[in-house]
Chains A and B, each alone.
Chain A
Amino acid sequence: MTKLIITVIGKDTVGIIARVCSYLADHNINILDISQTIVGGYFNMMMVADPAQSTVTAGQAADELDALGKEMGLSIRVMKEDIFNAMHRI
């Protein structure tokens, strides 16, 4: 199963990681890795997640997290890992 890369970018506020993690937990998507930085007040996070047991499709997760992001004033994108590997690895 292709892993998912979830990127979150936006203004830092309380509870960003919690909200994203609860969504993933609720839909049985396992988080494998999290990296996070804050640059100039901007929150920047990347999660690697395993959707093997997920209760939603990658497309649905993308739509729903996008909606969650808009609600919190953030940009949240869910993309299959292959596109990053294709672009950055030979």
Chain B
Amino acid sequence: MISIMEANETVKMITQENLDVRTITMGISLIDCIDSDLDRLNEKIYRKITEKARDLVSVGRDIEKEYGIPIVNKRISVTPIGLIGAAACRTEDDFVAIAKTLDRAAGTVGVNFLGGYSAVVSKGMTPAEERLIRSIPKALSSTQYICASVNVGSTRTGIDMDAIRLLGNIILETAELTKEKDSLGCAKLVVFCNAPDDNPFMAGAFHGVTEGDTVINVGVSGPGVVKTALEQIRGESFEVLCETIKKTAFKVTRVGQLVAQEASRRLGVPFGIIDLSLAPTPAIGDSVADILCEIGLEKAGAPGTTAALALLNDQVKKGGVMASSYVGGLSGAFIPVSEDQGMIDAVEAGALHLEKLEAMTCVCSVGLDMIAIPGDTKASTISGIIADEMAIGMVNSKTTAVRLIPVIGKGVGDSVEFGGLLGHAPVMPVNAFSCDAFISRSGRIPAPIHSFKN
């Protein structure tokens, strides 16, 4: 029998410490929709998504109510459209037509994002994939729910520098086309190295080709719960610190596991994975930076930050894998800037710079995320930042990602408001020295050696 103390602990986590299930994401394969006729392809895509995900939102709401746990987002990921549209799309506008179909389907079933307007080009781009990448600015500026991602490298294939050079321009174009909304389009575009096939979190979710027809993946969150648990053990040893993070991550993940199983059963769709990421929101007390401060730093970015984050990321995973046999996705600690009030404070106080963030991405679960940079940043500089981040992922066999927002018309000292979960951010300075000659080389960076690990 559950004791009153245990009941209160759970209720307190939900009501005061922002424990929630961040997303139930239904992965839907569109491979059986492939057609060389664009109209038929669009029709099949719309029909399949609206059929498979018809009850996703209502089932999510029911579970939320019955178990008393908020389920913040219900979302869909689909097979990378770079593959699905290859036979039908002869122009960039053909791809945009698919984006609009996806957008219409997302609106019909009531999800708040649909990911998978993507291309996986870790070694090279097919002509269709290049067309999809070139269509991203138009697709993102003419749709509401669509998220795009491009995987440009992996530990086994190396890094496609041609794609990175192209993406520097694509990110700037997307920023330009959405400049009325502080270049918000770029918040829906992620560049990956080693992208997982089963990530439920946006903007980078897509339903990889290794997956089955449909799948339910669940992302849990709870930075506030970890922070509160750590408040009770100030000054204790690293052993106690690690033990506390693990136990908390275990509890949080178990809730996700329960919700995932229940959603899978009610929807008749197989359960895929739990992604146990500490995903912050701009809400007070829902910050990963605050956990780093609770571990012992004055501000995120102070010396010791990388070590503290490495410890946190690892303990979260260790606690989580005990709670669910199927852990996947990105799993770990996210360090977005605009979505985390503690990170924003650290940047504004001058404690946290782009270079320190880059170092932190070596040990966090993703990468340079939701960072506003000056709108007049050169395309080659953006490509250079992406290349650096991809190299970290490639060499360290981990997922890394870049989601930069060059805010058109704004510079260092200005601030940007994205609204909702995306938060607000100070525009951060970027190293102004050129990497033009490096980025203008064609071809790819070879895969790294898998021995002599130093």
Give A residues with C-beta under 8 Å from B: 5, 7, 9, 33, 35-37, 44-46, 48, 58-59, 62-63, 75, 77-88
Interface residues of B in 1-50 (CB under 8 A from A): 1-4, 6-11, 15
Instruction: Tell whether B161 is near chain A: CB-to-CB under 8 Å.
Output: no
Q: Do the beta carbons of A83 and B11 come within 8 Å of each other?
A: no
Q: Contact at A81–B8, with CB atoms within 8 Å?
A: no
B417 within 8 A of partner (CB)? no
Alpha-carbon distance A79/B9, docked complex (angstroms): 13
Give the dominant DSSP class at B's interface.
Answer: helix
Smallest CB-CB A-B distances: 5 pairs: A79-B68, A59-B65, A86-B254, A86-B258, A46-B4
**B8, B67, B251 pick with most chain A CB within 10 angstroms:** B67
Q: Which of B66, B69, B257 contacts A58 (CB 8 A)?
A: B66
Question: Do A83 and B8 form a contact, CB below 8 Å, given A58-B65, A59-B66, A75-B15?
Answer: no
Contact A86 B66 (CB under 8 A): no
- With an 8 A cutoff between CB atoms, is B255 at the interface? yes
Contacting pair A80 B10 (CB below 8 A): no
- Pair A87/B68 contact, Cβ less than 8 Å: no
Known: A33-B1, A48-B1. A84 touches B68 (CB 8 A): no
Not counting A58-B66, A59-B66, A77-B11, a sample of 13 additional A-B residue pairs whose C-beta atoms are within 8 angstroms of each other reads A44-B4, A48-B1, A48-B2, A62-B65, A75-B15, A79-B66, A81-B2, A83-B10, A86-B255, A86-B257, A87-B251, A87-B254, A88-B2
Smallest Cβ distance from A5 to chain B, in angstroms? 6
B contact residues around A83 at 8 Å (CB): 10, 67-69, 255, 258
Number of A-B contacts (CB under 8 A): 72
Can you list 28 A-B contacts with CB-CB less than 8 angstroms, sorted by A residue number?
A7-B11, A35-B3, A35-B4, A44-B4, A46-B8, A48-B1, A62-B65, A77-B11, A79-B10, A79-B66, A81-B2, A82-B67, A83-B67, A83-B68, A83-B255, A83-B258, A84-B2, A84-B6, A84-B7, A84-B10, A85-B2, A86-B254, A87-B6, A87-B10, A87-B251, A87-B255, A88-B2, A88-B251
Residues of chain B with a CB closer than 8 A to A84's CB: 2, 6-7, 10
Query: Please, which residues of chain A bring their CB within 8 A of the CB of B254?
Result: 86-87
Cβ B65 vs Cβ A46 within 8 A: no
Q: How far is the CB of A52 from the nearest CB of chain B, in Å?
A: 15
The number of residues on chain B lying at the interface, defined by a beta carbon within 8 Å of a beta carbon of chain A, is 22
Neighbouring B residues of A80 by C-beta, 8 Å:
66-68
Residues of A within 8 A of B68 (CB): 62, 77-80, 83
A76–B9 CA distance with the chains assembled, in angstroms = 15
Residues from chain B with a CB closer than 8 A to the CB of A46 are 2, 4, 7-8
Residue B62, interface by CB 8 Å: yes
Closest to B61 in A: A59
Given contacts A46-B4, A81-B2, contact A88 B10 (CB under 8 A): yes
CA distance A62 to B7 in the complex (A): 16
Q: How far is the CB of A32 from chain B (nearest CB, A)?
A: 9
**Which residues on B sit within 8 Å (CB–CB) of A75?**
15
> In the complex, are the beta carbons of B1 and A59 less than 8 A apart?
no
The residues of B that contact A82 with a CB separation of less than 8 Å are 67, 258
Residues of B near A5 (CB, < 8 A) are 2, 7
Taking CB atoms, residues of chain A closer than 8 Å to B69 are: 79, 83
Indicate if the CB atoms of A59 and B62 lie closer than 8 Å: yes
Interface centre among B6, B8, B66 (most CB of A within 10 A): B66
- Chain B, residues 357-392, CB within 8 Å of chain A (1/0): the string is 000000000000000000000000000000000000
A33 CB → nearest B CB, Å: 7
When distances are taken between beta carbons in the complex, the residues of chain A under 8 Å from B62 are 59
- A55, chain B: closest CB distance, angstroms: 16
Q: How far is the CA of A37 from the CA of B69 in the complex (A)?
A: 24
Residues of A within 8 A of B15 (CB): 75, 77
Q: A63: which B residues are within 8 A, CB to CB?
A: 65
Residue-wise, chain B 266-308 has the 8 Å CB interface mask toward A (1 for contact) of 0000000000000000000000000000000000000000000
Q: How far is the CB of A20 from chain B (nearest CB, A)?
A: 15
B3: chain A residues within 8 A (beta carbon): 35
> Which residues from chain B contact A59 at a C-beta distance below 8 Å?
62, 65-66
Considering the chains assembled together, what is the distance between the CA atoms of A13 and B10 in angstroms? 24
A80 to B69, CA, bound (A): 10
Which residue of chain B has its CB nearest to the CB of A36? B4
Specify which of A5, A44, A46, A87 lies most central, judged by the most chain B CB atoms within 10 Å of its CB: A87
Which residue on chain A has the smallest CB distance to residue B65?
A59
